[in-house]
């Protein structure tokens, strides 16, 4: 018999427009499904979880993450984008052995869960060897997180064996089309690890895909589609300079190259015409406020894209840059866009043009729609997967609008309970079944090992490995 529990007396933000908010609401979960939402529901033998004084809402969605970089926490906070491409994508990436890769993705899942994130799109571009690939898939799956493990069809150097390192060889490896072994390797992972459960298999495109001639990009997309992914994701931008704009998106849409649900990240330089084409074609978009602001990548696009009729999510991108906290990402998005709207009018606004509820939707139902998963997650709707979180409030904020409380007066430390596919992963602010001290010791050793390998690399020789490309 399926386990059943009843969350009682919380301020329930269902994010379902037909159900709305319930000030003293209940949510019944049976197995991995939400089966009833209402008020004063009878327990009928179900385990009762008291949510008095808490906000109950769908689990948060992170639409773009490189989970393997959890072992590099804080390293990227002062990096520019060109520095990131060298340091993370040409140097550090080759310093992870299978044990490090497992731990990195395991931590990436756990740090998400503790922050109330129940769904991530892991753009996993650390596919250096088959053993590393196995470790990445197992690590994320073992953490209990939901979402999509997106195998990146992208070549990656591997320095762990101590082979001699030649700049031109590394440059060629990083910039050529993904080697043929990736296709069979990705299919093996799909069949081995992703047959059931809240974590699915997807494909991530090489970073060079948007800048290739359209027929080559279409070929890469076809390779990905042949692997039957639940989701295709990728970084996507245009080449945009004063008096010059080049983007292959329209050409690829015209030939039907995007088949599976597709979520494209960043998109800062795309024209309104191309953004409207994306929205019309039902391609999702993910904005990553911290890295896009911090690295000067351009305008944040999610609000404009939603206004065009598109579906957008927010992403952390990498916790080597900022802590896993989607409320902070949403608040940054909100404030940047409020400032932009005010600047466009030239006056202090009499009415705020972008509200907290609209940004909270990017973390829930609209975010789910950007992944093509809104029939499964994103709202507390009977029949959907039981992904939900309970967030503590203090006495002073209980009378405030709950969306404002979440975005302006809450952070990851306020997440009391996290449920993914009906399994309680965090309760009373503690992760369930995790040896935190043992995990800390393993992490310390892994960080030291990766750092020692990194220190031995010929940094000056590899410093311009991406020259002329990004």
**What are 82-95's pLDDT values in tens digits?**
999 999 999 999 99
Residue 412 has pLDDT above 70, yes or no: yes
Confidence of residue 351 (pLDDT cuts 50, 70, 90): confident
Q: CA dihedral in degrees (251, 288, 91, 455; nearest 10)?
A: 170
Of 419, 350, 426, which Cα lies nearest the Cα of 33?
A: 419
pLDDT at 41: 96
**What are 51-67's pLDDT values in tens digits?**
999 999 999 999 999 99
Report the alpha-carbon angle 131-136-137, nearest 5.
100
Please say whether the beta carbons of 65 and 122 come within 8 A. Answer: yes
Structure tokens, 282: 């039902």
Residue with tokens 């080449």: 239
Q: What is the mean pLDDT of residues 23-29?
A: 97
User: CB neighbours (10 Å) of residue 125?
Assistant: 24
Quick one: 19 and 97 in the same domain? no
Quick one: 27 and 158 in the same domain? no
Quick one: 198 and 270 in the same domain? yes
Quick one: 174 and 136 in the same domain? yes
Backbone angles phi, psi at 336, to 5 degrees: -60, -45
Residue 335, C-beta contacts closer than 8 angstroms, at least 6 positions apart: none
Range of the domain at 416: 4-58+378-431
Quick one: 31 and 171 in the same domain? no
Residue 18, C-beta contacts closer than 8 angstroms, at least 6 positions apart: none
> CA-to-CA distance for 172 and 108, rounded, in angstroms?
30
| Residue 78 placed within a domain | yes
State the total domains in the chain. Answer: 2
Quick one: 221 and 76 in the same domain? yes
> CA-to-CA distance for 340 and 60, rounded, in angstroms?
26
What pTM was computed for the model? 0.97
End position of a domain, from candidates 353, 370, 387:
370
Quick one: 252 and 155 in the same domain? yes
Of 246, 358, 349, which Cα lies nearest the Cα of 302?
A: 358
pLDDT at 1: 64
Quick one: 362 and 414 in the same domain? no
Residue 350 has pLDDT above 90, yes or no: no
Quick one: 406 and 328 in the same domain? no
Residue with tokens 């939400």: 34
| Residue 112 placed within a domain | yes
| Residue 443 placed within a domain | no
Confidence of residue 396 (pLDDT cuts 50, 70, 90): confident
Residue 352 has pLDDT above 90, yes or no: no
pLDDT at 349: 83
Residue with tokens 């990017």: 362
Quick one: 127 and 91 in the same domain? yes
**What are 222-253's pLDDT values in tens digits?**
999 999 999 999 999 999 989 999 999 999 99
Mean pLDDT estimate for the chain: 95
**DSSP-based three-state secondary structure for 242:** coil
């Amino acid at each position: 018999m399926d386990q059943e529990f009843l969350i009682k007396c919380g301020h329930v933000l269902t994010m379902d427009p037909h159900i709305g908010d319930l000030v003293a609401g209940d949510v019944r979960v049976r197995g991995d499904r939400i089966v009833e939402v209402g008020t004063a529901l009878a327990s009928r033998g179900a385990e009762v979880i008291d949510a008095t004084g808490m906000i109950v809402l769908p689990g948060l969605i992170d639409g773009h993450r490189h989970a393997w970089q959890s072992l590099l926490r804080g390293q990227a906070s002062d990096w520019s984008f060109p520095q990131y491409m060298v340091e993370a994508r040409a140097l550090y990436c080759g310093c992870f052995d299978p044990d490090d890769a497992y731990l990195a993705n395991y931590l990436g899942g756990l740090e998400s869960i503790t922050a109330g994130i129940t769904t991530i799109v892991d753009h996993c571009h650390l596919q250096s060897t088959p053993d590393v690939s196995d470790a990445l898939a197992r690590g994320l799956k073992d953490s209990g997180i939901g979402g999509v493990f997106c195998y990146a069809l992208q070549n990656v150097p591997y320095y762990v064996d101590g082979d001699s390192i030649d700049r031109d060889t590394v440059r060629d490896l990083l910039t050529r089309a993904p080697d043929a072994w990736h296709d069979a390797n990705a299919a093996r992972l799909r069949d081995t690890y992703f047959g059931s459960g809240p974590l699915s298999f997807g494909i991530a495109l090489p970073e060079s895909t948007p800048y290739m001639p359209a027929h080559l990009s279409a070929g890469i997309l076809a390779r990905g589609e042949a692997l039957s992914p639940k989701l295709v994701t990728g970084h996507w931008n245009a080449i945009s300079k004063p008096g010059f704009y080049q983007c292959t998106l329209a050409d690829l849409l015209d030939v039907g190259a995007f088949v599976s649900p597709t979520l494209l990240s960043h998109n800062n330089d795309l024209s309104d015409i191309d953004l409207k084409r994306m929205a019309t074609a039902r391609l999702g978009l993910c904005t990553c406020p911290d890295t896009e602001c911090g690295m000067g990548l351009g305008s944040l696009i999610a609000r404009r894209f939603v206004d065009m009729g598109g579906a957008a999510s927010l992403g952390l991108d990498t916790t080597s840059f900022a802590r896993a906290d989607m409320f902070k990402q949403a608040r940054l998005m909100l404030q940047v866009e409020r400032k932009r709207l005010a600047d466009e009018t030239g006056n202090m606004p009499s009415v705020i043009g972008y509200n907290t509820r609209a940004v909270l939707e990017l973390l829930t139902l609209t975010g789910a729609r950007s992944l093509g998963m809104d029939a499964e997650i994103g709202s507390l709707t009977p029949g959907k997967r039981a992904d939900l979180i309970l967030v503590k409030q203090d006495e002073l904020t209980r009378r405030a609008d709950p969306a404002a409380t979440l975005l302006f007066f809450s952070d990851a430390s306020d997440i009391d309970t996290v449920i993914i596919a009906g399994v309680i992963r965090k309760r009373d602010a503690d992760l369930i079944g995790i040896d935190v001290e043992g995990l800390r010791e393993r992490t310390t050793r892994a960080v030291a090992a990766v750092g020692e390998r990194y220190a031995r690399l010929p940094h000056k020789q590899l410093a311009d490995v991406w020259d002329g490309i990004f």
